[in-house]
Amino acid sequence: MRIAILDKFRGNLSLHDKYLKAFYNSYLKNSKFNENKEDNIREEEKILEKHKFSEVQELKERLIELKYNVKVINSDDDNKFYNKIKEFEPELVINVSEEKEIILLEKLSIPYTGSDLEAMILSSDKYKTKRTVKDVDSLSIAEDYLIGNIKEINNFINNVQKTKKNFIAKPNLGRGSAGICEYSIIKRELFWDANKKENIEKIKKHLNTILFDLKQPVLVEELICEGFLNDYNKENFKEVTVGLLGYENPKVLMPLEIRKKNPILTFNAKMNDEAEFIVPADIGSKLRKKLEEATIKVYKHIGSRDYLRMDLIIHKDNIYFLETNTAPGLMMNHLNNKVANSYLGIMAEKEGINLIEEIVKIAKKRYNL
């Protein structure tokens, strides 16, 4: 069987690469914000380079072990992508994560793994996804705002000063912690101290970077737990992600708990594995059952296929929905490769599942191949 693996500068990497350039222009060239951040920026650029091909290489090696005829095809250049696909005539395509890839494959009637165009577009929009799943039993939705212009930025700044809550601001269409840095957290104390004016300017610069440089709406969400910034690893607060594999009768994998060294999982921290992963998450059997039921309902609400990952915050007995990912990383060589991780791969490994073999098997059954 001929299988094509799509190679590309993944969307989250491209987005964060763009964010870094904008971040550099906004902050580092302004002496007020140049607080020895340049070394951190250069380090993140190195991470981007390392991560480019690690996942594709692993997918290729695993599929060759399974005796498939494998070809890696770059999808960054539209014309070359079309010609290479036509030349190889794959019977199945994997690592599909961009809208343009799905459009071409659908046009050519070529089977591919993962969700269709409608589900991918919905899942990539965090704000819309939250409204789609808001009626799912057991899931709660935190207070949030969608900011799309300067007026809305100013309104948010004015309103947030009147509240006692903390918030996090990130790209609404971002993936893989792209565009998230230390300035993403908007602490209420910033509006109370002696540097209030400078703090507000920093917040506005971060929001403007997302809105005008990344050309995305800004999603601002309430930080759930009052003690998040100082007590985020305690028993009453857990950050959890849960994976699902299958089509007609999907299987929910053991949930993964992310115990972070820092209160926010920035892009740099995620790529460098600066967290401890607990599988299964220490949440108790009752809550885990609720989580499994909710995951299947979200999977159906979104219209996903083959696999899905859902990110959550658990505060005491409440499950707060954050986002879904219909195109998560598929790496499994986590224990031997510290370049990058795949939460779905870690969960599958714990279950004794060969992730890519299982995904191919699911897609083949769906297409009757």
pLDDT tens, N- to C-terminus, the chain (369 residues): 999 999 876 554 555 555 555 655 554 444 444 444 444 444 545 555 555 557 788 899 999 999 999 999 988 888 899 999 999 999 999 988 888 899 999 999 999 999 999 999 999 899 999 999 998 988 999 889 899 999 999 998 888 888 778 888 888 986 656 667 767 888 877 777 777 888 888 888 888 888 888 788 999 998 876 555 555 555 567 889 999 999 888 999 999 998 876 656 555 555 555 678 899 998 989 999 999 999 999 999 999 999 999 999 888 788 999 999 999 888 876 544 444 568 899 999 999 999 999 999 999 999 999
Q: Are 267 and 44 in contact (CB under 8 A)?
A: yes
Burial of 280 (0-12, 13-18, 19+ CB in 10 A): middle
Q: How many alpha carbons lie under 13 Å from residue 277 in its C-beta half-sphere?
A: 22
Look at the block and give the residue holding tokens 């959890």. Answer: 240
Q: What is the pLDDT of residue 339?
A: 46
Q: Where are the domains of the chain?
A: 2-112, 119-140+230-367, 144-222
> What pLDDT does residue 70 have?
97
Looking at residue 34, its pLDDT comes to: 44
Q: 335-347 pLDDT, tens per residue?
A: 444 445 688 999 9
Main-chain phi, psi angles of 340, to 5 degrees: -160, 165
Q: What size, in residues, is the chain?
A: 369
Average pLDDT, the chain: 81
CATH of 119-140+230-367, one of 3.30.470.20, 3.40.190.10, 3.20.20.70, 1.10.10.60: 3.30.470.20
Which residue in 238, 236, 290, 243 sits closest to 259, CA to CA? 238
Helix ranges (H only) for the chain are 11-23, 38-51, 54-65, 78-88, 99-107, 117-124, 126-133, 150-160, 196-208, 228-231, 267-271, 285-302, 343-350, 355-367
Neighbours of 184 (CB within 10 A): 20
For residue 280, say if its preceding peptide bond is cis, omega within 30 degrees of 0. Answer: yes
3-class state of residue 313 by DSSP: strand
Instruction: Name the nearest CA neighbour of 92 among 119, 117, 71, 66.
Output: 71
- pLDDT tens digits for range 2-15: 999 998 765 545 55
